[in-house]
Structure 1
Amino acid sequence: MKLKILELFGGIGAPRKALENLGVDVKSIDYVEILPYAVTAYNAMYDNNYKPQSVLDWNINVDLLIHGSPCQDFSNAGKNDLKSGRSILYERTLEIIDRELKPRPKYVIWENVKGLIGKKHIKHYQHYIKKMESFGYINYTGILNSLDFGIPQNRERVFTISIRNDISKWFNFEVLRKRPMQPLINFLEDNPQAIDGYDVVQPSMIKSIETGKTTIAMTYVNTITTKVVRWNTSLVWKDYTNFYVYPRGTDGKLINGSHNRAWKEDKYIGCIPASKIPQISKIEDKHLLFRYLTQRECFRLMGFTDEDFDKILLKKIPKNTLYKLAGNSIVVQVLEAIFEELLDL
């Protein structure tokens, strides 16, 4: 029996990708996304022909509803008004569940940033939970980090799993299948010498490296966002063939960069204590040492394959938009773990 799903604020389709990876027979009843390039990317990967449409004027009926309304206003600097702002679009999801889905979905998944349950924005979360309870749902909330699911990206997100109260199912975040974090180098481009156009050349970014405000990724990257040129991004060494990892003395296994990482002593630097930021201010031509992640690397770090990315690349989507599509998505492997528990796979 096919699982009928609805993706609201669907982005590039991470939930569908996770379900397909798990072998679930999925029937996409509808996919709602207003950003044209996101729709283009989704259609390219899944061979669909969806059109951009607004969540404000839509209705249908499904088994599983996944939504991740825009999260920008739940950041520390975001708006905090239940009657305004982009993030308030979750209210439209509540309207759809309440009035337009008959019967209501068995399961609803809401993904958002950690700031949603912080002091400033907790009333949004509480409002949502009370509404879902009034609709007949039992709710489970947890914070998941993609570092725990095999992906070297420090990305914490709040997931609320709502199960219709006539369904004999309980959700337990504690039993989700965790995966060892893979080495970051596995997600980077195969030939660093062929990468061109990603050097860090902006004076403000070089300054942020010197002050330690921008980090150099050694074992994992910071949260991938919609823009790559910003101080809280993670940079990587331009020539990362120049580093290696010592084995542990106890069992001989490699350490994925968390301890004993060293760089060959040439024009770069020697040993780097894992607890310290490299003193790169002593090195000349800093912009020649570091680069930004490529779009392909960002898609890999969101759990998509190169085959997925190549299909999207054929659509000639602008470079900066590809970063936005990755930054707005959900890590596929995190969703896989959720679906395994929710659907008893």
Structure 2
Amino acid sequence: MYKSIDLFAGIGGIRLGFDQAFGDEIRTVFVSEFDEPAQKTYRANYSDPFEIAGDITKIDASDVPDFDIALAGFPCQAFSIAGSKMGFKDDFKGRARGTLFFDTLRICTDRKNKPKVIFCENVKGLPMHDHGRTFKVILGALKEAGYIPWWKILNSKDFGVPQNRERIYIVAFREDIAPTEFTFPEPTGKKVYLRDILEDAPISPKYYLSDTYIETLRKHRERHQSKGNGFGYQIRSLDGTAGAIVCGGMGRERNLIIDHREHSMEPVTHIKGKINEEDIRKMTPREWARLQGFPDSYELPLADTHLYKQLGNSVSVPVIKAIAEKVKEVLDD
């Protein structure tokens, strides 16, 4: 039985991938998540016999039970290409998000029994941040702490979900058990398209855009195109893949679809104008969950605004599972 801890847990996507890979051979003994709405979604899907801890900077390593595997999807916003790329200087509500990686390392190393594995996920731009210096510091810190790190950028669309989402994954093994080589999983070759993850019709009219809003989006894009910019809404082909759903759940207009299946044209929310007759709509939170590889049994208990944010901040579960299977092979050996 391997014991794991789930840091920056979000809604438990990394944990889910490891649970799927390890089956009955893994047990989560500690969870930390700062965001209260995310905690609610997490609790709806995991019935742990302990409370979810909050701010990781206030957690003492001695208060965390012994564990074998640390799962840490430390905040990506500080290093994101789409964000301000502040890195270690990034500040959010008084918390230096860029330095939270070192809290992960503190909890792993300030103890008698250091864990066997530290697993991290972040944006693909991390190795390029600050001309590579940030990533060099992170890898150097892992090595100094007694770990051998491997890393690779993988794309979710190569692992059975229709989302073009590149992320960096770091697997660090404790020196005394580290293999001479660690091989990340290869693409599955399974092709999945947007039409494969659509919810059954009819879709609520609240997801169909108003004609007034679509006209606003078109004018916005025309203004940017006239300046040579690429900003604007985007309609994705049902026979293609979505763009990356982003941290914070923003940019839903970058992943619009045309759904001609039967649906009501009567608005259920207050909108300007009327529901568009081109059948352009946003994807639903459940469809976003499917874009991330969450099973339909995974509960989505909160309002859409929270769910889009949580799913955009989460991970692609099938990618995590594929990596976790490789980690298990090393540990079992």
| TM-score (norm. length: structure 2) | 0.80
Are residues 1:62 and 2:67 paired? yes
Task: Report if aligned partners of 1:109, 1:159 keep a CA contact under 8 Å in 2.
Answer: yes
2:86 alignment counterpart: 80
Which whole-Å deviations, capped at 9, do the CAs of 1:97-142 have from their partners, x for residues lacking one?
232x331111111100011112536322111110110111111110
Question: Which letter does structure 2 place at the counterpart of 1:301?
Answer: L
Are residues 1:205 and 2:217 paired? yes
Residue correspondence of structure 1 range 129-144 to structure 2 within 5 A: 129-144=139-154
| Cα-Cα RMSD | 2.6
The residue matched to 1:307 in structure 2 has which SS? coil
Question: Which letter does structure 2 place at the counterpart of 1:339?
Answer: A
Question: Which letter does structure 1 place at the counterpart of 2:294?
Answer: F
Residue correspondence of structure 1 range 209-288 to structure 2 within 5 A: 213-218=232-237, 219-226=240-247, 230=251, 233-239=254-260, 288=278
2:51 alignment counterpart: 50
Pick from 316, 322, 329 the counterpart of residue 331 of structure 1.
316
Task: Report if aligned partners of 2:87, 2:129 keep a CA contact under 8 Å in 1.
Answer: no
Task: Report if aligned partners of 2:79, 2:87 keep a CA contact under 8 Å in 1.
Answer: no
Task: Report if aligned partners of 1:216, 1:236 keep a CA contact under 8 Å in 2.
Answer: yes
- Paired residues, number: 295
Structure 2: state its 5+ residue gaps: 92-96, 263-274
- How far the C-alpha of 1:232 sits from its partner, in A, is 6.5
Question: Which letter does structure 2 place at the counterpart of 1:3?
Answer: Y
Task: Report if aligned partners of 2:8, 2:73 keep a CA contact under 8 Å in 1.
Answer: yes
- Distance of aligned partners of 1:25 and 1:287 in 2 relative to their CA distance in 1, 3 Å threshold: farther
In structure 2, how many angstroms separate the alpha carbons of the residues matched to 1:223 and 1:240? Answer: 25
Pick from 167, 172, 193 the counterpart of residue 162 of structure 1.
172
Are residues 1:128 and 2:122 paired? no
In structure 2, how many angstroms separate the alpha carbons of the residues matched to 1:205 and 1:10? Answer: 34
Structure 1: state its 5+ residue gaps: 242-284
Pick from 175, 180, 204 the counterpart of residue 195 of structure 1.
204
Task: Report if aligned partners of 1:106, 1:163 keep a CA contact under 8 Å in 2.
Answer: yes
Task: Report if aligned partners of 2:235, 2:258 keep a CA contact under 8 Å in 1.
Answer: yes
The residue matched to 1:306 in structure 2 has which SS? coil
Which whole-Å deviations, capped at 9, do the CAs of 1:284-324 have from their partners, x for residues lacking one?
x8674311111111111111112113xx32xxx22111111
- Distance of aligned partners of 1:178 and 1:228 in 2 relative to their CA distance in 1, 3 Å threshold: same
Structure with a larger share of its residues in helix = 2
In structure 1, how many angstroms separate the alpha carbons of the residues matched to 2:178 and 2:133? Answer: 29
Pick from 273, 277, 291 the counterpart of residue 301 of structure 1.
291
Which whole-Å deviations, capped at 9, do the CAs of 1:188-217 have from their partners, x for residues lacking one?
1111x3322112333443445676733221
In structure 2, how many angstroms separate the alpha carbons of the residues matched to 1:133 and 1:162? Answer: 9
